[in-house]
Amino acid sequence: MTVKTDKTKLLITIMLCFLVALMEGLDLQAPGIAAHGMSADYGLDKVDMGWVFSVGVLGMLPGAFVGGRLADRYGRKKVLIASVALFGVFSLVTTVAWSFSALLFARFLTGVGLGASLPNLIALASEAAGERMRGTAVSMMYCGVPLGAALAAAIGLLNLGVGWKLVFYVGGIVPLVIVPLLAFYLPDLYKPAQTGGATVELPSTKSILVENGSLKITLLLWVSFFFTLMVTYILINWLPSILIGQGFKPNEASMVVLSMQLGAAIGTLMLGVATDRLPIWVMSLLVYGGTLISLACLTSATALPAMMAAGFLAGIFTTGGQCVLYALAPQFYPANGRATGTGAAVAVGRIGAMTGPLVIGKMMALGAGTSGVMLASAPGLVLAAMSLLYLSSIKKGPAPTTSVA
């Protein structure tokens, strides 16, 4: 009976977290899909659009860190529900923004909600699955992100008379529908320590991230997260505009993005399962070697079929590589600091995700072509690979449980 109950909880947890991840992926891809129409309506240039892309990621930075910290203190479920409601509401606000400043404000708060949700999704999937199936469970949950981005690309192909706003309507209404499902059906396996009805003070952030041998692990994770998310978000946000600048039609650019996100969904599942079976050093070579090859293919492709194939390959290794990092991070922190440690790594990754689109926006404004954009990504990928390779030399497994302050 216990085994059946545990399997049921795991299934329900993964299904509900998958739905949230689906909407997260849609909201992450939405600005890239809407960029052409949005820039026309607001009179934005490429640098302005770089800010639209990056301000949402900027909001994810405090969202990821604070969301993870609050989840370790008050529980994953409560914080996840609040974060989903937040990004649903402000995705809708994006459609009625009356100025460029209001648009940036809406995207920032959407990002806060998105950022706070992710470490909770990772922690919930990890804790429901346990050590043996952690990578598989996280990948099953996280494949909702690329599928959501693919859904955004598919929505971009529709013409229902509302233009670029359609993707934000979907990205706002559906999360608000998901909120009551989370409230009634999501199991919350992590229970903060209680004493006399009051929550016991958690270990300090310093003790989780720095002390007891954690500093080296934390820094290596941060470097890998930073550069991996930087490249992923360059592609998510700028690939449609880059393709249109090369002469592809907007609907053709959406087809390439759709191909990339379908590859991302497949890569997430494949690499997530592989993470449970292969050493970290093998995963590092696989992920970053594949990413560099896919960027070279994107640079050299000219015809639509070849570009779609290159996009598919890029999706496998960029977003799939993210999932590998998300599956690895919880293994190196104790249960009472798992969401904090993972949230901090995600927050650092968001700095890379914010920096990349801004830099590329300026490079494109100065006339840099596709090859320049792709070459600019290569050094960071090498550093990420080296960090993950070094991490593989450190004993795998969760750190000792940190004592309560």
The CATH number for 296's domain is 1.20.1250.20
Say if 400 falls within a structural domain.
no
Question: What is the predicted pLDDT for the residue at 47?
Answer: 78
Question: What is the predicted pLDDT for the residue at 402?
Answer: 44
The domain of 136 spans 2-185+202-391
Closest-CA residue to 339 (of 162, 84, 125): 125
Say if 403 falls within a structural domain.
no
Say if 336 falls within a structural domain.
yes
Spans of the chain below 50 pLDDT = 1-4, 194-201, 396-405
d(CA 318, CA 264): 7
Query: In 3-state terms, what secondary structure has residue 396?
Result: coil
Say if 192 falls within a structural domain.
no
Q: Are 53 and 232 in contact (CB under 8 A)?
A: no
Task: Supply the pTM of this predicted model.
Answer: 0.73
Question: What is the predicted pLDDT for the residue at 68?
Answer: 81
Query: Is residue 265 classed exposed, middle or buried when 0-12, 13-18 and 19+ CB atoms within 10 A define those classes?
Result: buried
Half-sphere exposure of 188 (CA within 13 A, CB side): 16
Number of residues in the chain: 405
Q: Which two tokens stand for residue 382?
A: 């090498």
d(CA 222, CA 316): 21
d(CA 301, CA 246): 11
Q: Domain total for the chain? A: 1
CA distances (Å), origin 378, targets 357, 372, 374, 384: 15, 10, 7, 10
Helix (H) or strand (E) holding 198: strand 198-199
Say if 328 falls within a structural domain.
yes
Question: What is the predicted pLDDT for the residue at 82?
Answer: 94
Say if 130 falls within a structural domain.
yes
Say if 196 falls within a structural domain.
no
Closest-CA residue to 256 (of 8, 10, 33, 28): 33
Say if 401 falls within a structural domain.
no
